[in-house]
Structure 1
Amino acid sequence: MTNETFAGYSNLALYSAMAVFLVAMICNAVYLAGLVPSRDRRRDAGAERELVAAGSAGGTGSAPAAAGARTAARADDGPDVDVPAKARKAAGIASTMTWLGALLLVVSVALRGLSVDRWPLGNMFEFAVMASMFTSLAYCVWSTRRDLRWLGLFITGPLLLVLGMAVTVWYTQAAELLPSLKSYWLVIHVTVAVIAMAIFTLGAVASVLYLVKDAFQRSGRASILDRFPSAESMERTSYGLHIVAFPLWTFTLIAGAIWARQAWASYWNWDPKEVWTFVIWVVYAAYLHSRATSGISRQVANWIALAGYVCLILNFTVVNVFFVGQHSYSGL
């Protein structure tokens, strides 16, 4: 097959992945919608248990009744308790579709590489597609170890947004690399940056959900987030993801300096892309420091983490396009 044929099949796989992610997003939304009535039923069941416990408080069976109420309450905390069968089925379909979408992105990236005879990370379009691939794969693999059905909508939705931007705004025809990019460091430096960005994305989603749930808990208002993991669990999840991503971004910064030495005879050139990469590193370092400092609340620490992610997005969407420098290779 010719390079043009590979490029065409790559685009077909990409559009197919978007269609599959759309189905997954809808099914994830159906699953979350199914949690709403189950939350109401659980509240009614809890009220009934309180009445039973209060009514038997003066008798000899009060202790067993209270123990039974506690056991029932713990059972209600299970992920499938009181969840309608329709919602559980939708969650299963969403999981399957997310795996399929991730695999279609792998096919799209592979075919794109065959069409250009190089590692497909030479412009913003290719970067966005590969970042989406790693994000979806990371989520799918993670979901095999933990119940992440509550997170699915907040992953597939942004994935669709990024892929939509990739095919409409950032799309670039398959072409040769710029001379400065023809190096094995492209595979090392940029691939690690993409993986770090994918994990930072998962961490950012976890941070947002943590802050929202924490706000509802503090206000005492009920919400669908009551059926999500506890705010503390979400916060620990976000922290763990950032712990993994930060060393990868550190390597990205160091590897970029080594590549700059080979390409431009200097480790540091104050290029906008270099500066923003360092700014992102500093902000995430501030997050990790604040997270380990007892005098700083977890809420403040997570706001710092989200500031780091905003810098990450600006680095990709604004610096690549509007800042002229040695890293001007957006393809637009």
Structure 2
Amino acid sequence: MSALSDQLIMYATLTYLVAMISHAVEYALGNARAVSAKAATPARELVGAGVGGAGGTVEEPVTPAESRHSRSAARAALAGRIATWLTTLAVALHLGAVVSRGIAAERMPWGNMYEFVLTVTFIGAAAWLAVLWKQPSLRRLGLFLTLVMVLLLAFAQFKFYVQVSPLMPALQSYWFIVHVSTIIFASGIFLLGVVPAVAYLMRAGWEQGRRSFPYTLARRLPAAAGLERMTFALHAFAFPIFTFAVIAGAIWAEAAWGRAWGWDPKETWAFISWVVYAGYLHARATPSIKRNVATWIAILGFLTMLMNLFGVNFFLTGLHSYAGVS
């Protein structure tokens, strides 16, 4: 089962990569429309023309440029649908890799950093499919989402991979499931939430007339207002779950170490992340604070999450040194 998990995650990464390429094709071909605006104009009625005053219709011919536009739009739409199908297949393979890893280890597959990253990225990708099912107009964000998936999964396989091993005694508690599962779920939603946050800042700049890089990448993204609302909705959904996870960790620490809080590096950075995300939600609810300022706070929150995941495990030591990396 361990070898199966390794193969499935490799295939999932490659499928995410092909989906990203398909999204890039759709993005490059421009707005997907079945026909051009002129070709879609209804035929004009000519009243009183012809023998006996009978009415008739005259269809305006479609120009070669409009025909090319129509074919390009059709190809863009097809590339976008293929990208969505491939992303769905990648998520299924991703799920199979996580489940088979857990079966091989005979425990929940969250015992080290490799397994943690695999599960967080799965939650983010699965949540993206749910968002896409509700709002298909956001499909072009899939280019950025699949890029993040490819980078994180490839990095996890090359840098964090460890052989399947039993759960260390310090983690053998029912609080492991409660605390780690909620942290993983919230982290996966935050991971998804940073995608529309970055896209919003680029799109807002484009709508304000900025035509330099990276704003040019946003000219075919959905409207900035919709991206900002999606950013807020994802963060508002994840924050209470993250809050519960931090509280559950404190309760577990009281049972395991005799104190609920000891300013361990993991605890400290979890608290920093909580404060930053709370600051984002407060800023978002404050009319006097601009939406782009609030969005920057959300991005800062995700950077603190990355510091907690990577920086603490690589550069700091503490009671939470369970990452399985050296």
Q: Counterpart of 2:142?
A: 152
Q: Is the 8 A contact 2:32 2:76 kept in 1?
A: no
> What value does the CA root-mean-square deviation take over the aligned residues?
2.0
Deviation at 1:88, TM superposition (A): 1.0
Distance in 2 (CA, whole Å) between partners of 1:141 and 1:81 is 30
Q: Is the 8 A contact 1:36 1:224 kept in 2?
A: no
2:195 is the alignment partner of 1:200: no
Distance in 2 (CA, whole Å) between partners of 1:325 and 1:250 is 22
Q: Is the 8 A contact 2:31 2:73 kept in 1?
A: no
* Distance verdict in 2 for CA 1:37–1:233, change over 3 Å: closer
Q: Counterpart of 1:310?
A: 303
Q: Counterpart of 1:65?
A: none
Q: Counterpart of 1:130?
A: 119
Secondary structure of 1:144's counterpart equals helix
Per-residue Cα deviation, 1:264-285 (whole angstroms, up to 9, x for no partner): 1111111100110010000000
Q: Is the 8 A contact 2:276 2:301 kept in 1?
A: yes
Q: Is the 8 A contact 2:114 2:162 kept in 1?
A: yes
2:173 is the alignment partner of 1:173: no
Q: Is the 8 A contact 2:114 2:161 kept in 1?
A: yes
Q: Counterpart of 2:201?
A: 211
Deviation at 1:218, TM superposition (A): 1.4
Q: 1:274 aligns with which of 267, 278, 282?
A: 267
Q: Counterpart of 1:114?
A: 103
Distance in 2 (CA, whole Å) between partners of 1:120 and 1:37 is 41
Q: Counterpart of 2:11?
A: 16
Q: Is the 8 A contact 1:204 1:305 kept in 2?
A: yes
Distance in 1 (CA, whole Å) between partners of 2:193 and 2:77 is 25
Q: Counterpart of 1:186?
A: 176
Q: Partner amino acid for 2:309? A: F
Q: Is the 8 A contact 1:7 1:115 kept in 2?
A: yes
Distance in 2 (CA, whole Å) between partners of 1:96 and 1:106 is 15
Per-residue Cα deviation, 1:13-52 (whole angstroms, up to 9, x for no partner): 11111111111011010010111798xx87xx7xxx9xxx
Secondary structure of 1:169's counterpart equals helix
May I ask how many residue pairs the two structures share in their alignment?
A: 290
Q: 1:141 aligns with which of 104, 124, 130?
A: 130
Deviation at 1:195, TM superposition (A): 1.1
Deviation at 1:152, TM superposition (A): 0.6
Gaps of 5+ in 1: 1-5, 50-79
2:233 is the alignment partner of 1:259: no
Q: Counterpart of 1:283?
A: 276
Gaps of 5+ in 2: 42-68
Percent identity of paired positions between Structure 1 and Structure 2: 40
Deviation at 1:223, TM superposition (A): 4.3
Q: Is the 8 A contact 1:7 1:111 kept in 2?
A: yes
Q: Is the 8 A contact 2:32 2:74 kept in 1?
A: no
Q: Counterpart of 1:31?
A: 26
Q: Partner amino acid for 2:273? A: I
Q: Higher helix proportion, which one?
A: 1
TM-score between both structures, scaled by the size of structure 2? 0.85
Q: Is the 8 A contact 2:9 2:93 kept in 1?
A: yes
Q: Counterpart of 1:90?
A: 79
Q: 1:102 aligns with which of 72, 75, 91?
A: 91
More off after superposition, 288-297 vs 214-223: 214-223
Q: Is the 8 A contact 1:28 1:90 kept in 2?
A: yes
Q: Is the 8 A contact 2:27 2:220 kept in 1?
A: no
